[in-house]
Structure formats: C-alpha cells, structure tokens
Amino acid sequence: MTIMRSCLRCLHFLGLAAFLGSILGHVLTGALVEPGSAAFAWAQETKHATTRWLTVPGLLLTLLTGIALAVRTPQLLRSRWLRIKMGLALLVTLNATLILLPLGARLAAGTEEAEPLLTGEAVFGACNLLMIALVIVLAVARPRLAKTGGPLPSQA
C-alpha cells in the first residue's frame, strides 16, 4: 500500500468519524432538551454549529477521499456495490447540505415554528442515518450485485 493511499484512507476514516460522532452528539443533545425549555435555543445553536463544522465537512472529506481512493483503484470502479455506495454517499451529503443544514439554521435562529422543523430534521436525519448504514454495509460486505435483473450469483 502506498503512502498516498494510506493518507487517503486515514482522511477517509477521519471524515467518517467526524460525521458519525457529530450525529451521535445531535441525537443526545436533541434527547436532553424539550422544545420551549431554557436550554432549547442553546441546543439548537450547538447542533447547527456541529453540523456546519463537523457533519458536513466530515461528509465532504469522506466523499472526496472515497472518490480519490476509487480512482486510484480502477478495477473497483467497475463494481456495482461501489457505484451504489458512492451514489448513496453523495445523496447523504446533499441531504445534509441542502436540507438539514438550512433546517438547523432556522432552528438555531429561534423561529416560532420549531415543531415542524424538528419533525423535518428527525425525518431527514433518519434518512441520512439509514443511507450511511447502507453505505457502511456495502463497504464491508462488498456484495456481488447482478448486472441484469436476474438473481444474484449466490442465488443462481
């Protein structure tokens, strides 16, 4: 393994750790405060700051280093599991950047419509967690996916 590949892998896992760690912090912070409580505004500001400075940068770092690692290993680019994984990672990043980050900004600004925004944050956040869980399963299992609509090779 080359030094460049090792550095890319370290950065890739660092980005994943920043993303997953910040998500755990969001869940815990959200569970500890009630809307309307004195700590609610602080919690929303904290969640927004971690989304802005940890979650989204962690996702971008993971996505970019993942692309760089894949490009450095051309035979991997032919793998359907990797293309699905990269597509899901892109969707997670777009969801966090275009939906969750603006929702968090509105919550941190102390808007009066906190309940529907919290619901949206919970739904889109859960979608991201499910997609990232699938990305991790694909990365670990590296399944052989059929090229056509037929059965998977292990089922033939």
In a domain, 72, yes or no: yes
In a domain, 153, yes or no: no
pLDDT at 70 over 80: yes
Note the pLDDT tens digit of each residue in 7-57: 999 999 999 999 999 998 888 888 888 888 888 889 999 999 999 999 999
In a domain, 35, yes or no: no
In a domain, 151, yes or no: no
> What does the pLDDT read at residue 148?
52
Predicted confidence band of residue 68 (pLDDT cuts 50, 70, 90): very high
In a domain, 146, yes or no: no
In a domain, 23, yes or no: yes
In a domain, 92, yes or no: yes
Task: Locate 6 and state its tokens.
Answer: 């090792």
Residue 51: give the domain boundaries.
1-30+40-141
Note the pLDDT tens digit of each residue in 113-129: 888 888 999 999 999 99
Cα distances (Å, whole numbers) of residue 137 to 2, 25, 143? 26, 22, 9
Give the residue with greater pLDDT, 156 vs 50: 50
Predicted confidence band of residue 150 (pLDDT cuts 50, 70, 90): very low
Please tell me the total count of domains within the chain.
1
> What does the pLDDT read at residue 143?
87
> What does the pLDDT read at residue 156?
42
> What does the pLDDT read at residue 146?
62
In a domain, 122, yes or no: yes
